[in-house]
Amino acid sequence: VRRGVLALALLACSREPAPSRVPPPVATAPAPGSPRSCLAHPVGSEPAVRCWVEWLAAPALAGRAPGTPGGETARAGIEAVLRDLSLDPAGDRDTYTQALPRGASVLAQVVGRDPARSDEVVVVGAHYDHLGGEHLGADDNASGVAVLLELARALAKDPPARSVLIAAFDAEEPPAYRTPAMGSQRWVDFPTLPRAQVVAMLAMDLMGGNLWPGERTPLYVMGRETLVADGAPPLAGDGLTVEAMHLRLVEDLPSGRQAFSDHGAFFAAKIPVLFFSTGRSPHYHRITDTPDTLDHPKLAAEVAVVEAHLRWLADLPARPAWRADPPVLAADAAALARMLAAGARGSAELRGLASEVVRADLARMRALSAVAPETPLDEAAAREVIAASLRAQCLLVPDDEVPTAACLVL
């Protein structure tokens, strides 16, 4: 796919000017390959999400590092699209941007249709920056921005009761990660609308991958435990498996709690969060994270799942409440058991002690989940599930930097 795009770009550059007899077009249609051309595809469709990913992860944008020309091209393109959708500016001083020490986040607002609730806001965000250079970041996180822009299109046509802040955050990746210079942290520290009006935050990061080759792994919805509200949407998508998982299974590291994306700053401010991700594929932070390695049908199917969660929160009669100390559930052990089983099938090189550990963890997770899914686990069992989850992520997701022995002591 990349070679095809390159060939087209070369063709376009080498083409002679059109003969003068052809009259200039009256309306200026967006050029193919420009972000606005993606708006020609049906909302939430596979061609639409593919179009956003191929634009953002094109070699021309050079991996979108904050403050670079490629990052600026991405910022300008996202802003142009949000303007085309007639969304209100929601950045600093009536602009669409919030400046950062390096780079700028893009912010627009869909005004809620219920005057009684339109002061309240659901934030939906995805970071558009990546590492830069040869790292093009298709899954990380052109995929999340693709879903974000499709949500913006759907909401612009049919706004929910509450307002929605569309946030394309900059500077999520290192070195800004978990510092005041991170785009999402900056917004929480210097919000462009009163922070007390934010009822919930949805983050999307790594949305188009599969954890193991040959396995269609789920979309994980983490953080539903952080909010108290009725009528959660079903965990199902069109041809897509969706799993709920407690954030602690991913974030409770031996060194302390650590959020892996833009929801972290909001969570720390006690705002309910949902974190959508397909997890780290084998291409994570490698130069092979290119558009052709993404599961585009899965990515397209995710739009409806995230939209259902967003509309649920934006249309609730009463604003959802923050839950301070939610328990890990038997359902979390069950979700982990399914991940371990798929990982054991998908990880060809898993052998020796590592394979025994995975088998033992799988058996234990099945035992813990042999009760009603909503059963809360006691803290000792919760810690077992969290430790097994960390081992699974360490052992089953290939990473040259982490030796197997280091995973086994988790």
**Lookup: tokens for 372:** 């009603």
Interface with Zn ion by CB under 5 A: which range of 14-22, 200-208, 226-234, 265-273? 200-208
Interface with Zn ion by CB under 5 A: which range of 105-113, 198-206, 291-299, 380-388? 198-206
DSSP state of 234: P
Question: Closest distance between Zn ion and the C-beta of residue 208, in Å?
Answer: 12
Residue that the structure tokens 């020490």 belong to: 101
Question: Closest distance between Zn ion and the C-beta of residue 225, in Å?
Answer: 22
Question: Closest distance between Zn ion and the C-beta of residue 177, in Å?
Answer: 9
Residue 121 or 124: the one with the smaller Cβ distance to Zn ion is: 124
Question: Closest distance between Zn ion and the C-beta of residue 103, in Å?
Answer: 14
Tally Cβ neighbours within 10 Å of residue 145. Answer: 29
Interface with Zn ion by CB under 5 A: which range of 48-56, 202-210, 216-224, 350-358? 202-210
Interface with Zn ion by CB under 5 A: which range of 109-117, 197-205, 214-222, 351-359? 197-205
Question: Closest distance between Zn ion and the C-beta of residue 65, in Å?
Answer: 13
What does each C-alpha distance from 18 to 12, 15, 63, 85, 178 come to in angstroms?
A: 12, 9, 33, 32, 51
Interface with Zn ion by CB under 5 A: which range of 152-160, 199-207, 246-254, 400-408? 199-207
Pairing of strands 104-110, 88-89: antiparallel
Measured distance CA(186)–CA(179) in Å, rounded: 9
Q: Considering only CA atoms, which of 129, 221, 220, 217 is closest in space to residue 174?
A: 129
Question: According to CB under 5 A, which residues from 205 to 234 bind Zn ion?
Answer: 205
Residue 389 CB partners (closer than 8 Å, separation 6+): 249, 250, 336
Residue 89 or 137: the one with the smaller Cβ distance to Zn ion is: 137
Residue 71 or 327: the one with the smaller Cβ distance to Zn ion is: 71
Residue 151 or 156: the one with the smaller Cβ distance to Zn ion is: 151
Measured distance CA(25)–CA(115) in Å, rounded: 42
Question: Closest distance between Zn ion and the C-beta of residue 285, in Å?
Answer: 9
Pairing of strands 121-127, 163-169: parallel
Question: Closest distance between Zn ion and the C-beta of residue 127, in Å?
Answer: 6
> What string marks each residue from 105 to 144 as x (binds Zn ion by CB under 5 A) or -?
-----------------------------------xx---
Question: Closest distance between Zn ion and the C-beta of residue 205, in Å?
Answer: 4
- How many residues touch Zn ion (CB under 5 A)? 3
Residue 43 or 181: the one with the smaller Cβ distance to Zn ion is: 181
In 351-384, which positions are buried (b, 16+ CB within 10 angstroms) versus exposed (e)? eeebeebbeebbebbbebbeeeeeeebeeebbeb
Which DSSP helix (H) or strand (E) runs through 404? helix 404-408
Tally Cβ neighbours within 10 Å of residue 231. Answer: 8
Residue 218 or 279: the one with the smaller Cβ distance to Zn ion is: 279
Residue 126 or 350: the one with the smaller Cβ distance to Zn ion is: 126
| Torsion angles phi and psi, residue 56, rounded to 5 | -70, -35
Measured distance CA(187)–CA(173) in Å, rounded: 16
Q: What is the dihedral of CA 379, 380, 386, 387, to 10 degrees?
A: 160
Question: Closest distance between Zn ion and the C-beta of residue 370, in Å?
Answer: 35
Residue 141 or 278: the one with the smaller Cβ distance to Zn ion is: 141
Residue 140 or 150: the one with the smaller Cβ distance to Zn ion is: 140
Residue 106 CB partners (closer than 8 Å, separation 6+): 75, 78, 79, 82, 91, 96, 97, 128, 167, 168, 170
Question: Closest distance between Zn ion and the C-beta of residue 253, in Å?
Answer: 17
What does each C-alpha distance from 120 to 72, 198, 200, 223, 364 come to in angstroms?
A: 31, 6, 10, 20, 43
Question: Closest distance between Zn ion and the C-beta of residue 247, in Å?
Answer: 16
Residue 156 or 265: the one with the smaller Cβ distance to Zn ion is: 265
Measured distance CA(38)–CA(28) in Å, rounded: 15
Residue 205 or 307: the one with the smaller Cβ distance to Zn ion is: 205
Interface with Zn ion by CB under 5 A: which range of 60-68, 204-212, 309-317, 361-369? 204-212
Chain residues that interact with Zn ion, rule: CB under 5 A = 140-141, 205
